[in-house]
Amino acid sequence: MKALTIKNFKTAPVFSQDVPEPTTDETFDTLIDVLAAPIENFDKANAAGRHYSSTYWHPTFPSIPGASGIGRRVDNGKLVAFPARTLKPQFGSYAQRTVANSKLLLEIPENTDLYSSTAAASSLLTSVAPLKFSLDIQPGDTVLINGATGFAGQLAIQVAKNLGASEIIGTGRNPERLAGLKALGATQTISLADDDKTIMQNLDNLSVKGNLIILDYLWGHPIELILHAIIPNCLAMKRATTLVSIGSIAGPEISLPSKAIRTSGLQIIGMQTPKVMANQHAVYKAVWDLINSGKIKSDVKTISLEEAATQIDWQKPVPSGVRTVIKL
């Protein structure tokens, strides 16, 4: 079969036409003919050995990257979506056929837009999981999306709006995309292209209602500025603040003052929490309910397997604001 394969963690995926097809076992019991598979930063990091789960997904070589997508079950022809952690290690979605755990598959409507839907699904998980399941956001709360001009950040704005956030704040560097965030549902925006003093002043002037939830796709210096800004100048705790760490494209480490935790009511969690892990199928169903509602907009580019091997820079982060999907 046709597939992208990696020979080791140091070389980029290559296109091959004679890759052996996967076989089922007791856990991964369902073969799937892949129709669409997104290229995410998660997939790139795994293929390059940079993610903590790289050796789980690629225990030996050659190995096929790709964690999620849409396809048809070989046994009954039904159209299904398969999220990350559904597929058998070493047999990812960048291939004509993969093998999955049937318990984690989600049947989707036949009229689904394959490419925009599969592009949005994994990225929507990053906001639906924490907002709806880990934190149970309430109408009237405020959501700040740090890195809102990226693809997942733009979707997070739409998720926050659909879940009833009263204030939705987006940060980013790209001026054109930043200007377009209010059309997606943002009520306030902050440019990260300004100098630190200006950014801090703008953060201090934000309108925050209810509890504050920060979805952070950047980490690094931008989140340091935000954390400094939420530290109160008095002993009174203004609100509960939860920081959800999702990505670290702006840097892997930060300097966190202890008083940010002592006086601001700050809690820091990851995207994957016990509540999310215990309700994986419900989380994914919530994502697809949102997709099928028609309320989510996303910018998508499609390429073939052959083009993915030659046109994608596998060492660099995915382009901001648009998602590339492999069309099979």
- Identify the pLDDT of residue 130: 96
pLDDT digits (tens, 9 = 90+) for 152-170: 999 999 999 999 999 999 9
pLDDT digits (tens, 9 = 90+) for 18-46: 999 999 999 999 999 999 999 998 999 99
- Identify the pLDDT of residue 260: 77
Average pLDDT value over all residues in the chain: 93
Give the pLDDT mean for 110-127: 92
Level-2 CATH architecture, domain 121-275:
3-Layer(aba) Sandwich (3.40)
CA pair distance 286, 4, nearest whole angstrom: 30
pLDDT digits (tens, 9 = 90+) for 188-202: 999 999 999 999 999
The single residue listed with the structure tokens 């966190």 is 256
Percent of the chain whose predicted confidence (pLDDT) is above 70: 98
Q: Which of 70, 138, 135, 143 is nearest to 109 (CA)?
A: 70
- Identify the pLDDT of residue 70: 97
- Residue extents of the structural domains in the chain: 3-112+299-327, 121-275
Please, which pLDDT band fits residue 82 given cuts at 50, 70 and 90? Answer: very high
pLDDT digits (tens, 9 = 90+) for 227-269: 988 877 655 556 789 999 999 889 999 998 887 787 777 899 9
Give the pLDDT mean for 277-297: 89
- Identify the pLDDT of residue 236: 53
Helix axis angle, 280-292 relative to 114-128, nearest 10°? Answer: 130
Give the pLDDT mean for 213-236: 86
Name the fold adopted by 3-112+299-327.
Quinone Oxidoreductase; Chain A, domain 1 (3.90.180)
- Identify the pLDDT of residue 258: 83
- pTM for the full model? 0.88
- DSSP secondary structure letters along 55-94: HHH-SSSSBB----EEEEETTT--EEEE-TT-BPTTB-SS
SS3 of 127, please?
Answer: helix
